[in-house]
Structure 1
Amino acid sequence: MLRKFVKMEGAGNDYIYFDCLREPLASPENLAVRLSDRHRGIGGDGIVLICPSGRADAKMRMFNADGSEGKMCGNAIRCVGKYLFESGAVPKSEMEIETLSGIKRLWLFPEGGTVRRVRVDMGKAEFAAAKIPVNLPSAQIIDYPLRLAGMQRRITCVSMGNPHCVVFEDPDGIELDAVGPLFENASVFPQRVNTEFVQKTGERSLKMRVWERGSGETLACGTGACAAAAASVAIGMFPRGEDITVRLPGGELVVNVGDRVLMTGEARMVFTGETEL
């Protein structure tokens, strides 16, 4: 059985998208593993299903390259908005998308019928340790000293609907393939964790590399960029309510941390095709 797909990316965070608004997709966990393989599959950080919702304009389900289901992806949801608008399924420049992390509001900026940039209300940054979750003896883990991955580090943990551990170290000096799995699977993170290595590069800018649970190092992570910006505000590096540019290997995202976290970035279609299910 052949099934159409769309390959899209936001800041280099690439997923394989399936329109499930009228026809569901069976066994997405197994499909994500097979199709995400960059040598024997289509290649991507995972797959995304665009599904109907009784609570919002549509629902996004995402599965990582290892088959695990993720709660939220800021780069993927921008692409979902782009697809819904350009396909005519949701012909609105403001829409709501249901995710496992709640309903997210999107603002699209179409140019001649094509959406290139999308802003997402990512919700509130959550610092309560129990809600991230992280098993450490403190109500909040902000600039917290902890020995991890063979050395003493200071970490800030935040949830953006999924768990993040932000470490302010030069990302270019990190052997991420070796260090990332040690963070992801550390016993203090009962649901595993996404880890961002971040450095301040200017008055309102950061550079970052990310190790995503279930996917490894990716070119970008929207929730990770939001977590990094929120952590930088929490430790007093930047003021609240101002745009922070987060530079990742795959591109730039602009994050504004106020009562809620707003993220703006590009969404791009790479190619379309059909695959045998």
Structure 2
Amino acid sequence: MHGNGNDFVLFDEFNGELIPEKKKPEFVKAVCDRRFGVGADGALFVQSSDIADARFRYFNSDGSEAEMCGNGIRCFSRYLVEEGYAKPGSIKVETPVGVLELWVEKAEGYMVKVNMGEVKTSAEEIPAVGVNQIWGEKFEVSGREFEIYAVNSGVPHVVIFVGEEELENLDIVSIARKIRYSKIFPEGTNVNFVSLLTENEIEIRTYERGVEEETLSCGTGSVAAAFVSIQRGLVREPVRVVTKGGDLIVEFSDKIAYMTGSASRVFDGRLRLSELRFESFG
């Protein structure tokens, strides 16, 4: 499945565990390998929940589990509806950041609106160390200073504004890795490079922590970029966020972020464990 090109392999554990908990990180790394596995930015696990329609688990391609994935939860929600675990319309999903409400609409494909919760800006909530807040602070990379804004939109994100032409040509990976691995961010951070297009439209490129490369789209990154752009008075909402994989719409109500985008289910299949570069479950 994919949300604007941010792609995932989904495993249905709603009726019971398929992959032992201790083996999940190693298993996900093998499955997400684009040469020796299926290939994906991450893996989704559908599990049962006592407090929602289902429980959401997301692992990055490096095997690390993340609290949230905006594009992933849209795909997850489409699957719930298609498989009969939830009905179209309003559904609730248990995540590590709380129970989130989503709205699934089937019209020319699947469109999903996600309640992404409140964007956090304090250093403690990002988390970041040695500061109270990172809002317009200078960060030097290879002799160049960047003005960075750090927030938590489900996971940590840094937002950097650049010109439209520069955004297209910038080597974001080398710059982002310096920030991602900075001691300021003890848990690491995703890094977004943003340019302003119109009064309610921005373009974004995102380096994702856990994937450790640029991805075609990032839902939480789009929310972070829209939030910072609005707070700085650079755009008005709703904000159309243009990514390499497609567009997302981000808007806010009573400090809560709402993200709307597509969710695609490309194929279903079976995995041959004997052919996967992965040790047995024994």
Aligned AA (1:127)? T
Judged with a 3 Å threshold, the aligned counterparts in structure 2 of structure 1 residues 243 and 23 are, in CA distance, closer, same or farther, namely same
Corresponding position of 2:278: none
- Counterpart Cα distance in 1 of 2:193 and 2:60: 21
Question: Do the aligned residues in 2 keep the contact of 1:16 with 1:44 (CA within 8 Å)?
Answer: yes
Corresponding position of 1:183: 179
1:100 aligns with 2:96: yes
Which one of the candidate residues 27, 49, 52 is aligned to 1:53?
A: 49
SS in structure 2 at match of 1:273: coil
SS in structure 1 at match of 2:99: strand
SS in structure 2 at match of 1:272: coil
Q: Superposition pairs for residues 1-277 of structure 1, below 5 Å?
A: 8-24=1-17, 25-26=19-20, 27-111=23-107, 116-137=110-131, 139-148=132-141, 150-170=143-163, 171-215=167-211, 216-239=213-236, 242-258=237-253, 259-277=255-273
SS in structure 2 at match of 1:130: coil
Residue range with higher mean Cα deviation, 90-99 or 264-273? 90-99
Aligned AA (2:245)? G
Q: TM-score, normalised by structure 1?
A: 0.92
Aligned-residue RMSD, C-alpha: 1.4
- Counterpart Cα distance in 1 of 2:209 and 2:44: 16
Offset, 1:184:
1.1
- Counterpart Cα distance in 1 of 2:227 and 2:80: 29
Which deviations, in whole Å up to 9, do the C-alpha atoms of 1:27-77 show, x marking residues without a partner? 211111101111111110011101111121101111111000011001110
Offset, 1:220:
0.6
Offset, 1:172:
1.7
Which deviations, in whole Å up to 9, do the C-alpha atoms of 1:207-256 show, x marking residues without a partner? 010001010211111000000000111212124xx210000111110000
Corresponding position of 2:279: none
Aligned AA (2:225)? A
- Counterpart Cα distance in 1 of 2:174 and 2:204: 17
Question: Do the aligned residues in 1 keep the contact of 2:201 with 2:235 (CA within 8 Å)?
Answer: no
SS in structure 2 at match of 1:38: coil
Aligned AA (1:140)? Q
Offset, 1:148:
3.7
Offset, 1:103:
1.3
Offset, 1:115:
5.3
Aligned AA (1:231)? V
Question: Do the aligned residues in 1 keep the contact of 2:240 with 2:247 (CA within 8 Å)?
Answer: yes
Aligned AA (1:253)? L
- Counterpart Cα distance in 2 of 1:18 and 1:150: 45
Question: Do the aligned residues in 2 keep the contact of 1:233 with 1:257 (CA within 8 Å)?
Answer: no
Corresponding position of 1:3: none
- Counterpart Cα distance in 2 of 1:99 and 1:150: 40
Q: For structure 1, which runs of at least 5 residues remain unmatched after alignment?
A: 1-7
- Counterpart Cα distance in 2 of 1:58 and 1:172: 39
Residue range with higher mean Cα deviation, 86-95 or 142-151? 142-151
Offset, 1:149:
5.1
- Counterpart Cα distance in 2 of 1:135 and 1:149: 22
